[in-house]
A and B are shown apart, each in its own frame.
Chain A
Amino acid sequence: GQNIDQPTEMTATEGAIVQINCTYQTSGFNGLFWYQQHAGEAPTFLSYNVLDGLEEKGRFSSFLSRSKGYSYLLLKELQMKDSASYLCAVMDSNYQLIWGAGTKLIIKP
């Protein structure tokens, strides 16, 4: 079956760096997405990776290794507003999205 694994919860300190991992096993691969979801709000798009390597967008970066079925989201200079759930999703060979359960990130002062 198809599966996306990511940690359920992580805690980090304001100003620090945190890495949220996502591993996947899917039928084919057409890209990997990261979304951010604040409590009670809609998920919003953060990044998309389809080729191996690192994509950087300000304080956020996303890495992909297709051979390892692995991605991570790196958040630098953490701010309190980064407290949210981070959702990893992989698009399979049929262009259907397979979603992880999300990682709740708690930022402490």
Chain B
Amino acid sequence: DVKVTQSSRYLVKRTGEKVFLECVQDMDHENMFWYRQDPGLGLRLIYFSYDVKMKEKGDIPEGYSVSREKKERFSLILESASTNQTSMYLCATTQGGPGANVLTFGAGSRLTVL
């Protein structure tokens, strides 16, 4: 089974802090995604990557950036955290190129910004 590991399950940060959320997968999956999940809303795509050093903006990239220096690692960065970024962040992966592939999710990182 593919395992997707998110380094922090719970984080509490202060407004203005820089936040790093790390995601590591242990299979050779090309595609990696960052979503946020908020009550009453569907998952919203922040950024995705189909290859090392490649990144594409999703639906809500404002206030976020990403880094993919190695195939297995995809990091989400909040340059200056704000309270409206309090959310559950989910990392996911799929095999192969763009297409109807099944997502494998990490357990999530719940971020609270005070």
A7 CB-CB contact with B under 8 Å: no
**Cβ-neighbour of B90 out of A42, A96, A100 (below 8 A):** A42
Is A45 within 8 A of B40, CB to CB?
Answer: no
A27 CB-CB contact with B under 8 Å: no
Is A43 within 8 A of B105, CB to CB?
Answer: yes
Q: Tell me the minimal C-beta distance from A36 to chain B in angstroms.
A: 11
Please count how many residues in chain B sit with their CB below 8 Å of the partner chain's CB atoms: 18
Neighbouring A residues of B104 by C-beta, 8 Å:
45
Please name the residue on chain B nearest to A45 by beta carbon.
B102
Is B42 within 8 A of A99, CB to CB?
Answer: yes
The 7 A-B pairs at the shortest CB distance, nearest first, are namely: A99-B42, A42-B105, A99-B43, A31-B100, A95-B98, A45-B102, A42-B107
A-B contact pairs, 16 of them (CB 8 A): A31-B100, A33-B102, A42-B4, A42-B90, A42-B106, A42-B108, A45-B102, A45-B103, A45-B104, A48-B102, A95-B98, A95-B100, A97-B43, A99-B42, A100-B42, A101-B40
B residues contacting A by CB (< 8 A) are: 4, 40-45, 90, 98-100, 102-108
A residues contacting B by CB (< 8 A) are: 4, 8, 30-31, 33, 35, 40-45, 48, 50, 87, 89, 91, 95-102
